[in-house]
């Protein structure tokens, strides 16, 4: 007799495991199917984010940042750090231990919440039947009352730079270099490419980033993107825009990368090459022909506002549906679906989902950019405030960057906030709260922020929207229709 569950989740990344835990907390008999195994051959929860994405990359970013900080910035604090050295193997090992602890933590949460972990592959058929193939064993049928698809995404491969051993790698391979490449090529100047490039640049690699687009990071506010690009170049990263890779060739442990730009045909030789041109939804062998679940033209599963797919009782969340490919977006969708199944009617405000780039300086934003407001025909006003005017930033010896507000000129409502600078990833939460609650610029202007803090810059930028900033010369905010 087939196993039967109230809720079956396929995929145990940030969206999937959150959905499974929440469903179990709401009283549903819940199972989660996950096929991933770690380097030791054991099942691993947490998806791309915990295993080979968000968390391990931040571990290496943090290690490399501490090194470069000690090397280049400690002296100004009166700290002598002569004969400084580092051990890449230990850095990578530390990263691996963090991953091990976090994935084990998810397994512990499953046990505590009585979520059944089924290690293997799930394929959805009609009438909410799941063909489950264990990593070890014979296939069997599972019947579910509700199915949540959360299989995530995978790196996009390009024919002109196919992965090869540990020389041409994707983002996963770039997390496991056992030595610092002398010359490192990165195809793609997106979030992943810039973060991974930053790690190895700080440790001594000559990093060359090849980006096919002419616009640097088009998803961010143009003013913010210019500031980030300027600082990355200052740190030594060679960012070449409009550089379309046309071919690669591996010879004698090196990679010849051919590309074209406005100057014509070009080439560069590197020791390692990272392919970071984006990600695509992972739905391989997920949907049987009779499943009734439809994909859009880009390969994403079609869902409505509450993440319901076209087949009754089936939901899809995270990277396999519309919207930004962000772990926290997937998590919130997972919780939302569990609530929908329990009979509630929650909503997720996609305008209040933040995004972060963990370079130095950090970049974080939520809501509209100035370019988006202009394109939408919004009558808007802006306000900016520099880190250089913050006592706390001076004390930290890091005054790079600024805060920027985009607000509706007629209603005064906050439409977007963009931060480039120290701890932007943490401060952006204040902007998320403001947008979620429909705050006006005046609401934020009337609040009291602790001194001395970096968050004072957030407050001053809100004041600057109306020319009221205290700690910079008075400026009239820009207004556009």
Residues acting as catalytic residues:
451
Q: Which residues are registered as beta bridge partners of 206?
A: 183
Q: Give the C-alpha separation, 94 to 100, whole Å.
A: 10
Q: Which helix (H) or strand (E) holds 63?
A: helix 54-72
Q: Token digits for 218?
A: 């088009």
Under 8 Å CB-to-CB from 470, ≥6 apart: which residues?
Answer: 460, 463
Q: Which helix (H) or strand (E) holds 334?
A: helix 327-341
Q: Give the C-alpha separation, 398 to 384, whole Å.
A: 18
Under 8 Å CB-to-CB from 413, ≥6 apart: which residues?
Answer: 407, 438, 439, 440, 441
Q: Which residue reads 């190895």 in tokens?
A: 200
Q: Which residues are registered as beta bridge partners of 308?
A: 315
**φ, ψ dihedrals at 272, nearest 5°:** -140, 150
Q: For residues 370 and 221, is the Cβ–Cβ distance under 8 A?
A: yes
Q: Give the C-alpha separation, 389 to 422, whole Å.
A: 13
**φ, ψ dihedrals at 452, nearest 5°:** -90, 130
As a dihedral over the C-alpha atoms of residue 70, residue 73, residue 79, residue 84, rounded to 10 degrees, the angle is: 30
374 to each of 369, 405, 464, 481, how far by Cα in Å?
A: 9, 14, 19, 7
Q: Give the C-alpha separation, 6 to 177, whole Å.
A: 43
């Amino acid at each position: 007799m087939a196993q039967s569950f109230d809720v079956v989740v396929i995929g145990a990344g940030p969206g999937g495991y959150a959905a499974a835990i929440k469903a179990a907390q709401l009283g549903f008999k819940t199972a989660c199917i996950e096929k991933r195994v770690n380097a030791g051959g054991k099942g691993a929860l947490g998806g791309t984010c915990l295993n080979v994405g968000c968390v391990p990359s931040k571990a290496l970013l943090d290690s490399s940042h501490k090194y470069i900080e000690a090397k280049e910035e400690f002296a100004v604090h009166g700290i002598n750090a002569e004969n400084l050295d580092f051990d890449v193997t230990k850095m990578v090992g530390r990263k691996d231990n963090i991953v091990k602890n976090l994935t084990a933590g998810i397994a512990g949460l499953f046990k505590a919440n009585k979520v059944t972990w089924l290690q293997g592959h799930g394929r959805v058929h009609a009438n909410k039947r799941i063909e489950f193939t264990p990593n070890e064993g014979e296939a069997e049928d599972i019947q579910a009352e509700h199915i949540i698809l959360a299989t995530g995404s995978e790196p996009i491969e390009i024919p002109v730079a196919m992965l090869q051993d540990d020389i041409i790698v994707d983002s996963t391979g770039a997390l496991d270099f056992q030595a610092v490449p002398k010359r490192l090529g990165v195809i793609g100047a997106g979030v992943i490419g810039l973060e991974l490039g930053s790690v190895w640049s700080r440790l001594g690699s000559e990093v060359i980033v090849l980006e096919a687009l002419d616009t640097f990071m088009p998803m961010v506010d143009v003013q913010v993107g210019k500031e980030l690009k300027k600082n990355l170049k200052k740190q030594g990263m060679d960012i070449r825009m409009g550089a379309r890779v046309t071919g690669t060739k591996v010879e004698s442990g090196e990679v010849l990368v051919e590309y074209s730009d406005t100057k014509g045909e070009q080439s560069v030789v590197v020791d390692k090459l990272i392919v970071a041109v984006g990600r695509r939804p992972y739905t391989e062998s997920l949907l049987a022909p009779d499943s009734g679940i439809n994909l859009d033209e880009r390969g994403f599963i079609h869902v409505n506002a509450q993440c319901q797919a076209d087949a009754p009782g089936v939901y899809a969340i995270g990277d396999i549906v519309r919207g930004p490919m962000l772990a926290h977006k997937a998590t919130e969708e997972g919780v939302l679906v569990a609530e929908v199944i329990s009979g509630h009617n929650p909503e997720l405000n996609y305008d209040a989902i933040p995004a972060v780039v963990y370079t130095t300086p950090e970049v974080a934003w939520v809501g509209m950019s100035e370019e988006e407001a202009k394109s939408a025909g919004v009558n808007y006003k802006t306000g900016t405030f520099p880190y250089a005017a913050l006592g706390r930033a001076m004390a930290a010896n890091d005054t790079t960057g600024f805060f920027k507000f985009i607000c509706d000129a007629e209603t005064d409502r906050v439409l977007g906030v963009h931060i480039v600078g120290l701890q932007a990833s943490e401060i952006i939460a204040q902007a998320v709260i403001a947008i979620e609650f429909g705050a006006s610029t005046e609401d934020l202007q009337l609040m009291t922020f602790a001194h001395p803090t970096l968050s004072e810059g957030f407050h001053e930028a809100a004041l600057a929207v109306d020319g009221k900033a205290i700690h910079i010369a008075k400026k009239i905010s820009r207004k556009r229709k």
